[in-house]
Amino acid sequence: ADGYYEYIMYECVYSTSDYSDMVFLASLSFNKVVDVQFNSTVGKYVGYTEEGVKYAENFNKDQALLQQSKAAVDTFCRPNAQNHDSCVRDKA
């Protein structure tokens, strides 16, 4: 039971069927506290703790990482949402 708890959560948030409002979020947490988060609407990493601010500064300097994260709406979110939605809608 003693130890550390670290995880990354990826989310695709949207409310319209054409995905025009889709947002990609990547949250890095430690011991249930979000340290840093990427939001595709903001277009950069934002730190929420002292350590998270340091991580965000380093992540935001990496142009390849930023481009990959910004592209995740089109490369990760939309294809998965379309696949999931078509399975659900076709069964209704």
pTM for this model (two decimals): 0.86
pLDDT of residue 1: 60
Q: Where are the domains of the chain?
A: 6-90
Asked if residue 43 lies in contact with residue 70, where contact means CB atoms within 8 angstroms, the answer is yes
pLDDT of residue 2: 76
pLDDT of residue 38: 98
Local confidence band at 64 (pLDDT 50, 70, 90 cut-offs): very high
Work out whether the CA dihedral 13, 15, 17, 18 comes out positive or negative.
negative
- Convert the pLDDT of each residue in 17-62 to its tens digit: 889 999 999 999 999 999 999 999 999 999 999 999 999 999 999 9
DSSP for 11-65, please give it. Answer: EEE--STT-TT-EEEEEEEETTEEEEEEETTTTEEEESSHHHHHHHHHHHH-HHH
Give phi and psi for 71, each to the nearest 5.
Answer: -75, -10
Q: Would you state the CATH architecture of domain 6-90?
A: Roll (3.10)
